[in-house]
Amino acid sequence: MKPFDDSHLRPGWFGKLAYHLLPIRREVVLQNMETVYGKVLTPDERKKLAQKFYEHLWLTVYENIRMGWMSRKQMKNMLSVEGRENVMNASGLNKGVILLTCHIGNWEIGPVLCAEHFSEFKGRFHVLRRQIVNKTVERLLFGRYRTAGLNVLPKRNSLDRILEVLALGDAVVFIMDQHAKPRKDGIIVDFFGKKAGTFKSLAIIAGGSGAPVVPAYSYREKNGTHVMKFMKPLEWIPDTDYDRELLRNTRHYNEAIEKMIGEHPEQWMWMHKRWKIKEPQP
C-alpha cells in the first residue's frame, strides 16, 4: 500500500454532520477502516476518514437524483475519461473486454456518464449485477442504464450469456468488491492482507475466453466533476494447477481493486461486510 495521503482526512461540516446524524452501518465502516488502515491511521484519523466517506455517500445520493433532470450534453461534460486507449487496444484483440471495477466514486452514474464517451460501444456495454425483485423499482433505478445504451446481465445463471457477448467483441463490467461465499460463488483470497471470500467467476471467464481484463474506476474531483480511469490490461498468470491458477489471478484482481481504493479511500463503499471469513486465532 502506498503512503497515505492525509488530504483524504479533511471532512467538511456536512461530512461531520452526516457521520453523527445519518451513520448507516457506522460500526461496519469503522471496523473495515481498521482492517485496512489500522497500522497506518490512528483511531481519530480513521474517524475523520469515515466522516469524509459519509460526505461522499450523501453527495452521491444527491447526484443520482439530480442526474434525472440533466441533458445528455450536461451529463457528458460532467465526466472526463483517462486511459481510453487501454479499452480500445484491448478491444482490438477481438475477444471482448472485461472491465474490472468496484463500488468507488459514484458507481451508479459513472458507467452511464462513461457510455456517452464510447460511441463505438453503444449498446455493447453489459453490466453484471443482481437484479431487484420489484420490477417497478428496477425500472426506476436502472432505466437510465438502458437509456444510455448499457445492458444489464443478471448475475445468476449468466455464464453462457457472458461468453456470448464477449465472443461478439462486447464489454462486460464486473463489480468485484463484495463478499462471495466460498465453495459456492467464491474462493478465499487475501484482500488488504486479510482473508476474504472473493468471486471466482471473473478468473474462470477470463481464463476460458482469453478476454483481456481492464481495471476501471470512477472518482469525483473536488470541483464536482468525475473521472473514469481505465488502466492497462492485467496480464494473465498461468499455472499448471487449475485451482492455483484461479487463486493467483483472483488475487491479482483484488490487488487492482486495492490500488483503486488506495487512490481515493474516502470514495469506496466501506459499508459492505467484506471480511466474513473467520481466521484462526494465534
Is 1's pLDDT higher than 70?
no
Q: pLDDT by residue (tens digit) across 125-169?
A: 888 876 665 566 556 556 667 677 778 888 777 888 999 999 999
Distances from the Cα of 159 to the Cαs of 34, 172, 253, in angstroms? 36, 12, 19
Question: In the structure grid, which three cell numbers stand for residue 243, read together?
Answer: 485451482
Long-range contacts of 150-156 (CB under 8 A, 24+ apart): 150/111, 150/112, 150/115, 150/125, 150/126, 151/123, 151/125, 151/126, 151/127, 152/126, 152/127, 153/126, 153/127, 153/128, 153/129, 154/129, 154/130, 155/128, 155/129, 155/130, 156/130
Among 64, 85, 108, residue at a domain's last position: 64
Tell whether 49 and 154 lie within a shared domain.
no
State which residues form the domain around 147.
72-267
pTM for the structure as a whole:
0.90
Q: Is there a single domain that holds both residue 25 and residue 102?
A: no
Number of domains in the chain: 2
| Whether residues 122 and 52 fall in one domain | no
Residue 19, classified by CB atoms within 10 Å of its CB into exposed (0-12), middle (13-18) or buried (19+), is: buried
Residue 5 lies in a domain: no
138 located within any domain: yes
190-204 pLDDT tens trace: 999 999 999 999 999
Select the more confidently predicted residue: 187 or 138. Answer: 187
Complete edge-to-edge strand list for the sheet that includes strand 171-175: 79-82, 226-230, 213-220, 97-101, 171-175, 125-129, 150-154
Residue 101: φ, ψ to 5°: -145, -175
Single residue among 64, 80, 101 that ends a domain in this structure: 64
**79 and 39, same structural domain?**
no
Tens of pLDDT along 200-251? 999 999 999 999 999 999 999 989 899 999 999 999 999 999 999 999 999 9
User: Mean of the per-residue pLDDT values for the chain?
Assistant: 88
